[in-house]
């Protein structure tokens, strides 16, 4: 029998913040997914905006690729402002 599909739900809790993943809902179409997400994840005034995405559309990195994907950025300290020491006289930058 045809069952509803899974959608991942993202909520923007306040203006100015990113949408954050909160969980999933089942729905027959995107419009219903949006309403089901509203009814489920914003019962306590938690959101100002919602995204729903078919779960099948998400490509995720596997946890075991962590070393390959993320460790290389660990030693690139020059991406962080604190790496650059300036004389105090320069003031705030």
> For 1-93, where are the alpha helices, taking DSSP H only?
30-41, 66-70
Candidates 17, 28, 48, 77: give the one binding other proteins (CB under 8 A): 28
| Shortest CB 11 distance to other proteins, Å | 11
Count of C-beta atoms within a 10 Å radius of residue 4: 13
The smaller minimum CB distance to other proteins, of residues 3 and 89, is found at 3
| Shortest CB 63 distance to other proteins, Å | 3
Task: Point out which span in 10-18, 36-44, 71-79, 81-89 binds other proteins (CB under 8 A).
Answer: 36-44
CA distance 84 to 89: 14
DSSP character at residue 69: H
Strands (E), the chain: 5-12, 19-27, 49-54
- Residue 69 touches other proteins, criterion: CB under 8 A: no
Gyration radius of the chain's alpha carbons: 21
Enumerate binding residues for other proteins (CB under 8 A): 1-4, 6, 22-29, 31-32, 35-36, 39-40, 43-44, 60-64
């Amino acid at each position: 029998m045809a069952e509803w599909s899974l959608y991942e739900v993202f909520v923007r809790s306040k203006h100015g913040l990113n949408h954050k993943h909160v969980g999933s809902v089942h729905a027959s179409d995107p419009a219903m997914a949006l309403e089901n997400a509203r009814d489920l994840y914003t019962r306590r005034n938690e959101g100002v905006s919602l995204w729903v995405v078919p779960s099948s559309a998400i490509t995720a990195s596997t946890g075991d690729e962590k070393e390959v994907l993320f460790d290389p950025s660990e030693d690139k300290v020059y991406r962080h402002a604190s790496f650059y020491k300036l004389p105090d006289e320069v003031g705030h930058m």
